[in-house]
Amino acid sequence: MYRRILVSAAAVVWFSFCSSLMAQQDFSAEIVDHQHGADSTPAKVYVTKDRMRIEGMGQSGHNGTVILNFSTRTTTVLIPERQMYMEMQSGQGPTAQRSWAYFRALDVEDACPEWRKMSAKPNAECHKVGSETVNGRSTVKYEGKSSSGEVNDVWLDSKIAFPIKWQGKEGGGELQNIKEGPQSAGLFEIPAGYQKMTLPMGMPSMPQH
């Protein structure tokens, strides 16, 4: 059960590593999975300058929560039903540094140069498609193509500097009900009374780009 929660959370985080910007403004939103449509329950995301919290419901009906701290490069997985948490480091090598650096791109109007510098695959392509409106919000659309020809599109919100829509071969999704404003500091802290859980052998570590 906990393996499924961690894998699901890691999948959301991996998307963020591959295509996200560092948010320039605090906000909360719902993550809608287009691949599963009405059969999936939207996850919640809360974002501040240096932290992000993702709350989702696993297939077993159990809640899973992931807290990313960009300053310390740590990821914390909360397990509410057991009052426990797991903490993981992102790693220290060049690959890990590239992954975390995706949150640091700042120019929404010209994101490709930064992404190219951080890409582990020199033959990958990226180009700016142009301005589009998504759910009433101003965005800049980018198209990326891997060395194998796989195409992925990302729409970056001009105000919060964060992807609010993405589409690729494996599916897509978007952020809905975006609410800008300060987020409670308690959202990004380990709840009182939680005990640290040792990561069992064979559990997945943070994905690398």
Strands (E), the chain: 27-33, 43-47, 51-57, 63-69, 74-79, 84-89, 125-134, 137-145, 151-157, 163-168, 171-180, 195-196
- C-beta atoms surrounding 31 within 10 Å: 19
**Greater pLDDT, 165 or 100:** 165
Architecture of domain 2-196: Clam (2.50)
Strand order in the sheet with 27-33: 125-134, 137-145, 151-157, 163-168, 171-180, 27-33, 43-47, 51-57, 63-69, 74-79, 84-89, 195-196
Structure tokens at 154: 């990302």
pTM confidence score: 0.77
- The whole-angstrom separation of Cα 191 and Cα 197 is 14
Given a cut of 50, whether residue 137 has pLDDT beyond it is yes
First to last CA, the chain: 26
For residue 200, give the nearest of 2, 29, 31, 60 by alpha carbon.
Answer: 2
Given a cut of 90, whether residue 128 has pLDDT beyond it is yes
Structure tokens at 150: 């796989």
**Greater pLDDT, 165 or 118:** 165
Among 17-31, 129-143, 156-170, 193-207, the range of highest mean pLDDT: 129-143
Helices (H), 50-137: 94-101, 112-118
* Average pLDDT of the chain, as a whole number: 76
In the prediction, which pLDDT does 116 show? 72
What does residue 97 show for φ and ψ, rounded to 5 degrees? -65, -40
- The whole-angstrom separation of Cα 5 and Cα 26 is 26
Out of 22-26, 80-84, 196-200, pick the least confident. 22-26
- The whole-angstrom separation of Cα 160 and Cα 108 is 9
For residue 25, give the nearest of 161, 165, 188, 134 by alpha carbon.
Answer: 161
The three-state secondary structure class of 52 is strand
- Averaged pLDDT for residues 188-196: 95
